[in-house]
Amino acid sequence: MNQIKKLRSRIENDWSGSSTLPVVLGIFDRLLEKQSFYFDSFLTLMTFEELTKKNFSNTSVFWSRRMVIESVNYLLDPSINVLKVRYEFIDDYCTSILTPDDIIEADSDGFLVHPETGKVVDNYKESIVLTFHLSECVAEAEIESA
């Protein structure tokens, strides 16, 4: 059984009996349709809501924003390793990707050193945006036909 089938089976087992299962699987399947695209994309919670809306637009399946957020949180779990979080610093001068260590250091120091200007940014949290992308191992995994 390949990695994608194992992941899908794990998702089905972990969410068995939950009304969120179709939402998690729907997002997972949509991400796999364009693996290389979603690896390089900057996905937001709105992206996942739009994917879910498309998945269930012609069905009677109920879904909510809470279910989408639960699904994304689950897919971010390191033991699942489907999604990765990306921290972006966005201001009038630049858009820069920050590492988790950059965020930890800024939290510890109480300020961020601007990635372009080198100046101290005290209210840096207002300029940090979380985005998501497909993990490398899932982006590169081969999908077997059923």
Q: Do 10 and 66 share a domain, yes or no?
A: yes
CB-based contact 59:89 (threshold 8 Å): no
- Give mean pLDDT, residues 35-47: 87
Indicate whether 143 belongs to any domain: no
Indicate whether 138 belongs to any domain: no
Indicate whether 112 belongs to any domain: yes
Indicate whether 55 belongs to any domain: yes
Compute the CA torsion angle 109, 112, 115, 117 (nearest 10 deg). -110
Q: Do 25 and 78 share a domain, yes or no?
A: yes
Q: Do 91 and 20 share a domain, yes or no?
A: no
- Give mean pLDDT, residues 45-51: 93
Q: What phi and psi values does residue 122 have, to the nearest 5 degrees?
A: -75, -40
Indicate whether 10 belongs to any domain: yes
* Residues forming beta bridges with residue 96, ordered by sequence position: 89
Q: Do 70 and 126 share a domain, yes or no?
A: no
- Please report the pLDDT score of residue 102 as a whole number: 94
Residues spanned by the domain of 108: 86-130
Confidence of residue 25 (pLDDT cuts 50, 70, 90): very high
- Give mean pLDDT, residues 118-140: 91
- Please report the pLDDT score of residue 146 as a whole number: 43
Indicate whether 146 belongs to any domain: no
- Please report the pLDDT score of residue 137 as a whole number: 84
Q: Which two tokens stand for residue 141?
A: 């995994």
Indicate whether 141 belongs to any domain: no
